[in-house]
A and B are shown apart, each in its own frame.
Chain A
Amino acid sequence: MNMDTLALVDKVFGSKILLYILLIAALIYPFASPLGIPVSISSRTMQVYNYVKSLKPGCYVYMEIYYEVAARGELEPNVVALVKQLFDKDCKIVFVSLIGTGPIVFSLLRSTAADLFNTKKYGVDYVYLGYVSGQEAAAASLAKSIKGTVSVDNYGNRIETLPLLREVDKATDFSLAIIASSGTDTFNWYVRQWYTPYNVSLLFVALSVIAPSVEPFVGAKQAIGMLVGQRSAAEYELLVGRKGLGLASMDSQSLTHALILVFIAAGNVVYWGKRLRTKKK
């Protein structure tokens, strides 16, 4: 590998223009013609699926929707797959958002999973409390009592008029609290305000980038498990039998990852090529 080919490789990959055009191509091509790379199911996703399956039918579940529009790609497919599994078991869900963008992403969630939500009655099978400000303090007061924290739901109905909220009020009424968040602090709040004081079992839905630093909570048994990004979404969609954004994105993910591996290899080849070349001189 003499010097000018090295320089050529460096010039080609070094210039950001070509690097990014290759990247965009790898991203969009699978949506034009899918490659259909098979998806294997990891033991961690199976463990979460079996836990949710073990909940008694008609149970009560609390779900925190804490992400912005940008994070929908990674988190929404997991939430939709979980909602399908829970609705199939006739479980009732109380949705809440401690983030301002909650109402907007929840309306997008309802339109993506319209087939699931249309079979259920608002106020009886599921409720959305909307944006509750106060961050960790709000999580703490919701754990003590939902009625004591919010007086109206996201759509302006008074809490007393919703049948579901007559059946559940405190953290201990829920058999599972699912926290879908694009941040790390949200998981800390629920570990500190829901798990530590009331031992409510938590299930985290996190971005791949956040997962490693939330892993210690799962390791310390403060959460029963964790679904991470589009990979878990693709696996869970296979398990609950509802194809969604997770499966559709796996080809594009694989191709883009392969391309980045090529970039890393090229970077090392150029680096070591130059270093060995200068050492020889």
Chain B
Amino acid sequence: MSLIVKRVIPQLIVSIILIVMIVFYFFYVNKSVAGVFSAWDKALSDWAIIIMAFALMVGGADIFRYHLIQIRKAGMKQAPFSIVTILLELVMIAFALIGFYISYINPESGISITTQPQFAWLYTNVYAPSDTAVYSILLFYIASASYRAFTAKNPTAALLLAVAVIVMLGNTSLGGLIWPGMLSLRDWIMTVPNTAAFRPITMGAGFGAITLGLRLLIWREVSWLGRRE
């Protein structure tokens, strides 16, 4: 019995939902049936959002556990930093809960989870700048990658480099100064060869995803199950 419950039923759920959602998408039959299809389809994607929400809470608990163990085990080198992480996580969750509570006590105030004042302050002054900083640190990495990895080692790398230089020049006003035709060359590269180059990759990714969907459908893909009982 245990094998059925541990492995067979979860995989059965996957196969049924895959087939059902494909039917909801492609079939119509008549207005009322189509209405039922789209209602159930919306219900299923709402279910996914709800399960994702609980998974995020499990994730939050996981981070809390990880840093708690770091404080106990990793000694002074790591402990103070883990304390900072845990404190900030709890503070953010506390303000969110206050906002959630207020949104039900007096809804007119317009305060909800993300618009709770202290929560918004932490978001605007701690989360957003850090997020932007990590996003824009990429410019430094592009500069060092340009120096180190962008060498014309072989013909393919040389072609990649040549196209990159043309598009870079075309992207800025520099290009226009060197050769007026640079902008139209850049536009040509972007619309003709570039589009054609990405088409097989887009199609291939589509074939790969569908084949993986097939393997899930016939229980040939079990990595998401984890342990092989």
Interface residues of A (CB under 8 A from B): 13-14, 16, 19-20, 23, 37-40, 42-44, 68-71, 100-101, 103-104, 131, 133-134, 137, 141, 155-156, 208, 211-213, 215-216, 219, 229, 231, 250, 253-254, 256-261, 263-264, 266-268, 271-272
Contact = CB atoms under 8 A, between A and B. Distances in A.
Chain B CB within 10 Å, residue with most, of A44, A216, A267, A268: A267
Contacts of B183: 40, 42
A154 B229 CA distance: 49
A116 B142 CA distance: 36
B143 A37 contact: no
A75 to B, nearest CB: 13
Contacts of A19: 143-144, 147
A208 B168 CA distance: 11
A137 B173 contact: no
B45 A260 contact: no
B128 A134 contact: no
Contacts of B190: 211-212, 215
Contact of A268 (B110, B131, B152): B152
A100 B45 CA distance: 18
B191 interface: yes
B187 interface: yes
Contact of B124 (A104, A263, A266): A104
B140 A20 contact: yes
A37 B128 contact: no
Contacts of A254: 172-174
A144 B125 CA distance: 38
Interface in B142-192: 142-144, 146-148, 150-153, 161, 164-165, 168-169, 171-174, 176-177, 180, 183-184, 187, 190-191
Contacts of B153: 271
A104 B171 contact: no
B198 interface: yes
Interface string B23-56: 0000000000000000001100110010000000
Given A43-B187, A212-B198, A231 B168 contact: no
B172 A250 contact: yes
Contact of B151 (A38, A42, A155, A268): A268
Given A215-B198, A257-B168, A271-B153, A23 B132 contact: no
B172 A69 contact: no
B172 A156 contact: no
20 contacts: A14-B148, A16-B140, A16-B144, A37-B177, A103-B114, A104-B128, A134-B46, A134-B49, A212-B190, A215-B190, A215-B195, A216-B198, A216-B202, A219-B191, A231-B171, A231-B172, A257-B168, A260-B142, A260-B146, A261-B169
